[in-house]
Amino acid sequence: MISRKKLALAKMFMSRTAGYLALINAGMILFLVLSRLEDYGFDIEIEKYFFPILIFGFLILGVFGWLEDYLGFHKLERAHIEGRNPYMKEILTRLDKLDKKINKIKKSKL
């Protein structure tokens, strides 16, 4: 029987792969849009414009990703997600208890 741990690991791997599939999907959608423009009478050479537009789109995604990180949105998002993570909550609770004990010991020595 497959354990919950193995299922969770498989789900994590599939989630990582979904990001790459989204990039491939964006390329397919771009190809469809360019081909439909040809159907409506716009003279577009798909072979000439497809890869430059696709690479430009990936560059824009990279710039927005960098900007999100630079402005601190990624850090805030991760903090919010980890705050809802039960495993991380347990770790933070233990750290708070240790911090209180340390402060109590420091005060008693003064």
Instruction: Kindly report, residue by residue over 35-53, the tens digit of the pLDDT.
Output: 888 788 888 787 888 888 8
Domain count, the chain: 1
pLDDT score at 98 = 94
Position 89 in a domain: no
**Assigned token pair, 29:** 């959608």
pLDDT score at 42 = 81
> Which domain, by its residues, includes 26?
4-71
Position 88 in a domain: no
Position 54 in a domain: yes
Residue 85: in which H helix or E strand, if any?
none
**Assigned token pair, 51:** 């890869």
Position 106 in a domain: no
Position 86 in a domain: no
How far, in Å, CA of 101 to CA of 49, rounded? 64
How far, in Å, CA of 32 to CA of 52, rounded? 15
Position 66 in a domain: yes
Cβ-count burial 8-33 (b if 16+ within 10 Å, e if not): eeeeeeeeeeeeeeeeeeeeeebeee
Mean pLDDT, rounded, for 56-70: 89
Position 28 in a domain: yes
* The overall pTM is greater than 0.85: no
